[in-house]
Amino acid sequence: MKKRIFEGCATAIITPMHEDGSVNEQAFMDLVEQQIKGGIDALVVCGTTGESAVLTHEEHTRVIEIAIKQAAGRVPIIAGTGSNDTAYAVRLSNEAVALGADALLMVTPYYNKTSQAGLIAHYNYIADRVDAPIIVYNVPSRTGVNIKPETYLELSKHPNIVAAKEANGDISSVLKTISLCGDNLTIYSGNDDQTVPMMALGAKGVISVISNILPGEFHNLTKACLDGDFKTATEMSVKYSDLMDYMFIDVNPVPVKEAMNLMGMKMGDCRLPLAPLNEKNRETLAEELAKHGLI
């Protein structure tokens, strides 16, 4: 069995911004500290929720560096280094590893819409050239390409490809992937609202958006699943089901960043082309946060 990067809940952490749109490094350090003290099991830096698509190369590596230094080995730091340019993914991945990243999150190539054979070639090419464990990230709603279970089986044969963040929403596909790959590929839910059913099938945790605001609660939810207490985990999932939905009342990470602002964290706005929440959605989100005693 391949060594697991983490079990439980990893936060896909946001990237705070100043009013002028620059990265707020101090706020990011504080947020990393808050997450660790909140009980989170790992942190994913510069993923979708971290606005990796609009960070410059220098900002991208700097944010990874800050997270690694602030965490100081207390939790694994997983760096988002995927790209639709295979050569650039290799470059960025090796820079993240040199900075001390514990693992890499590697989204499927977007826009190019490669074939399953192309996916296998892309990931194996990177894994051959990077000395770090890789989590494959499947999110077809954003990338236009879906990884099939049989493709996961081929990828799982590489020693550096150890896990998958699965966000295709297809539970049957997850079951087939787990059946085919067994212990050669750890599965993490990529959707907060599917954490419990996926862990019931054998997934080992979630890479979460909502844990930006509820790190302790979602650590506890995943721990309950790992302990086999699916009754408690289900009750917690039901309790936060509406709030999970509201995290996607607009394009991620717009709602979660606004939620954190409403909670007094001062995380700033998202960079363009993502626009702030409209007033109606902002009021709706505030009402839901208040319902849970978060504001």
DSSP state of 23: B
Token pair of 256, please? 């979660």
Domain extent for 113: 8-228
The helix or strand, by DSSP H or E, that contains position 263, with its residue range, turns out to be none
Which CATH number belongs to the domain containing residue 115 in this structure? Answer: 3.20.20.70
Residue 111: per-residue pLDDT = 94
What integer is the mean pLDDT of 45-68?
98
Residue 222: per-residue pLDDT = 98
pLDDT confidence band for 282 (50 / 70 / 90): very high
- What's the pLDDT tens digit per position in 140-165? 999 999 999 999 999 999 999 999 99
What total of structural domains would you count in the chain?
1
Q: Which residues contact 2 (CB under 8 A, 6 or more apart)?
A: 133, 159, 162, 183, 184, 185, 186
Residue 141: per-residue pLDDT = 94
Question: Is 116 within the bounds of a domain?
Answer: yes
pLDDT confidence band for 14 (50 / 70 / 90): very high
- What's the pLDDT tens digit per position in 166-218? 999 999 999 999 999 999 999 999 999 999 999 999 999 999 999 999 999 99
Question: Is 138 within the bounds of a domain?
Answer: yes
3-state secondary structure of 87: helix
What integer is the mean pLDDT of 44-55?
97
- What's the pLDDT tens digit per position in 210-264? 999 999 999 999 999 999 999 999 999 999 999 999 999 999 999 999 999 999 9
Measure the CA angle with vertex 86, ends 163 and 115; round to 5°.
Answer: 75
pLDDT confidence band for 272 (50 / 70 / 90): very high
Cβ-contact 49, 14 below 8 angstroms = yes
Residue 1: per-residue pLDDT = 74
Question: Is 44 within the bounds of a domain?
Answer: yes
Mean pLDDT (the chain) is: 97
Token pair of 264, please? 């007094």
Question: Is 40 within the bounds of a domain?
Answer: yes
pLDDT confidence band for 2 (50 / 70 / 90): confident
Question: Is 170 within the bounds of a domain?
Answer: yes
Question: Is 274 within the bounds of a domain?
Answer: no
Q: How far lies 45's CA from each of 14, 49, 75, in Å?
A: 8, 9, 12
Question: Is 284 within the bounds of a domain?
Answer: no
Residue 20: per-residue pLDDT = 95
Phi and psi, residue 253, nearest 5° = -105, 25
**Nearest partner of 15 among 109, 111, 80, judged by Cα:** 80
Q: What positions carry a catalytic annotation?
A: 137, 165
CA–CA dist 266, 161 (Å, integer): 37
The proportion of the chain whose per-residue pLDDT surpasses 90, expressed as a percent, equals 99
Question: Is 50 within the bounds of a domain?
Answer: yes
Q: Would you say residue 127 has pLDDT above 80?
A: yes
